[in-house]
Amino acid sequence: MASNMVNTLLEKLHLTSKEGYAPAQEPNEEELKALRQKYEKANQEHVFAFYDDLDTEGKAALFEQLSGFDPDRISILADKALHPPKESDQPPSINPLPESATASLLESNNEEKEKWYKEGLSLIAQNKVAVVLMAGGQGTRLGSSDPKGCFDIGLPSHKSLFQVQAERIWKVQQLAKQHASSSTVPVVPWYVMTSGPTRGPTERFFQEHNYFGLDKENVVVFEQGVLPCISNEGKVLMESKSKVAVAPDGNGGIYQALVLSEARSDMRKRGIEHVHAYCVDNCLVKVADPVFVGFSAARDADIGTKVVRKRAANEPVGLIVEKNGKPDVVEYSEIDQEMAEAKDTGDRLKFRAANIVTHYYNFRFLEAIEEWGNKLPHHVAKKKIPYMDTETGQTVKPDKPNGIKLEQFVFDVFQFIDMDKFVCFEVDRKEEFSPLKNARGSAEDNADTSKADMMEQGTRWLQAAGATVVSESTATGVEISPLISYGGEGLGYLKGREIKAPAVIEKSPQE
pLDDT at 145: 84
**Section 188-209 average pLDDT:** 97
- CA angle, residues 373, 293, 510, in degrees to nearest 5: 135
pLDDT at 147 over 70: yes
pLDDT at 174: 98
- CA angle, residues 169, 170, 175, in degrees to nearest 5: 95
Q: Residues 319, 353: contact at Cβ < 8 Å?
A: yes
Instruction: Kindly indicate the confidence band of residue 511, based on its pLDDT and cuts at 50, 70 and 90.
Output: low
pTM for the model: 0.91
pLDDT tens across 317-349, in order?
999 999 999 999 999 888 899 999 999 998 999
pLDDT at 2 over 70: no
pLDDT at 1 over 50: no
Instruction: Kindly indicate the confidence band of residue 13, based on its pLDDT and cuts at 50, 70 and 90.
Output: very low
CA-based nearest residue to 405, from 146, 83, 82, 48: 82
pLDDT at 475 over 70: yes
| Phi, psi (rounded to 5 degrees) for 192 | -105, 110
pLDDT at 17 over 60: no
pLDDT tens across 91-119, in order?
889 999 999 999 999 999 999 999 999 99
What distance in Å separates the CA atoms of residue 318 and residue 329, rounded to the nearest whole number? 6
What distance in Å separates the CA atoms of residue 69 and residue 78, rounded to the nearest whole number? 13
pLDDT at 509: 60
What's CA 340's distance to the chain center, in Å? 27
Among 8-12, 80-84, 398-402, name the most confident range.
Answer: 398-402
DSSP for 263-293? HHHHHHHHT--EEEEEETTBTT--TT-HHHH
Q: Residues 303, 414: contact at Cβ < 8 Å?
A: yes
